[in-house]
Amino acid sequence: MPLKVKIYIGVITASAIALFIYLIPSLPSLSNIWLVLIFFLALSTFAEFIPVDLPVSGAVSIGFPLDFVLILVYGPALAMLITALGALIGEIIERKISWYKIIFNASQFALSAGIAGIVYQELGGVIGTTNLTSYIIPALICALTYYFINSFLFMMVYHLAEGISVWFIWKNQLKGIIATYIALAPIGFIMAMVYIGTGIWGIILFFFPLILARRSFELYTKMRKVYLDTIRALAAAIDAKDPYTKGHSERVAKMSVTLAQELNLSDRDTENIEYTALLHDIGKIGISDSILGKKGSLTSQEFD
């Protein structure tokens, strides 16, 4: 890992810690909400294991609505604490990434929740109010702030690690996620309203349908993968029919993807180009082997 990335992660981590220390006076007494703390921490940790994989690239954690509830009901300090602990515990259990990435992910989620919570309050939003509908605009801006802070922190670490332009990262990996956050924000807002009125059972009432929605989207992405795998199988069949050009379709696809990336095309356009390139010789399937494999010149009838 480059030194500049480690320094960046250190700065983000220090910033998250500093912001949390600043917000500690607003932290609710944990002795009075220990059951709430355990409940939300368990859900936040669980959410880390079931992200929503997006069709082209990236993933969105379904923990965002929970973070939103915590911000609106208990304030940014508790939201930072539970968000960071949930990310840490979840990723430590999975053990799929390095310690630097674990610390960065926890810090960036905490920082996003903390800043978003402050924005909500500065715009006049009231923490824990039973009249949340009066603060829809501050809540919406709070959700957008969470998204943009989270996206910016990710873009910068990706830029420093891979040398890819920030604009390219935004355009190809993060721009499309904003619709998902906008869709999840109302769910979090309604969950907060129900939680204020009914307590923990209100969260459970909405969390399980959220998991079912995530499952439905997962099935969609799997069906899409099967479709794309079918295209690859067709490309392989084309190459197998004509040994002379074996691997040709894959090479054309790779060159097409490289060219599309150089042109800064979106991931979706790049993917469409890749699969079009894989199937550009599909007409060979309708041509007999005797013609495809003929060593000499073709007759006029064979041309026809």
Q: What is the CATH number of the domain that holds 107?
A: 1.10.1760.20
Mean pLDDT, to the nearest integer, of 235-259?
74
Q: What is the pairing mode between strands 59-60 and 52-53? A: antiparallel
**Residue 240 tokens, joined:** 């197998």
- Say whether both 139 and 242 belong to one domain: no
Are 258 and 141 found together in one domain? Answer: no
Q: Considering the domain boundaries, does residue 295 fall inside one?
A: no
In a shared domain, residues 254 and 108: no
205 in a structural domain: no
For residue 302, tell me if it sits in a domain. Answer: no
- The torsion region of residue 27 among left (phi > 0), alpha (psi -120 to 50) and beta comes to beta
pLDDT for residue 74: 94
Q: Tell me, yes or no, whether 126 and 256 share the same domain.
A: no
Question: Does some domain include residue 237?
Answer: yes
Please indicate, yes or no, whether residues 177 and 235 belong to a single structural domain of this protein.
no
Residue 187 shares a structural domain with residue 266: no
Judge whether 304 lies within some domain.
Answer: no
pLDDT surpassing 80 at residue 43: yes
pLDDT, residue 84, reads 93
Containing structural domain, residue 265 = 223-286
pTM as predicted: 0.74
Q: Quote the pLDDT of residue 169.
A: 72
The number of domains in the chain is 2
Reported as half-sphere exposure (CB side, CA atoms, 13 A), residue 155 has a value of 17
| Domain assignment present for 134 | yes
Q: For a pLDDT cut of 90, what percent of the chain falls above it?
A: 28
Residue 216 CB neighbour total at 10 angstroms: 9
The yes-or-no verdict on residue 58 having pLDDT over 60 is no
Q: What is the pLDDT of residue 304?
A: 56
Q: What is the DSSP letter of 299?
A: P
| Residue 300 belongs to some domain of the structure | no
Are residue 160 and residue 277 in the same domain, yes or no?
A: no
pLDDT of residue 142: 94
User: Does residue 11 belong to any structural domain of this protein?
Assistant: yes
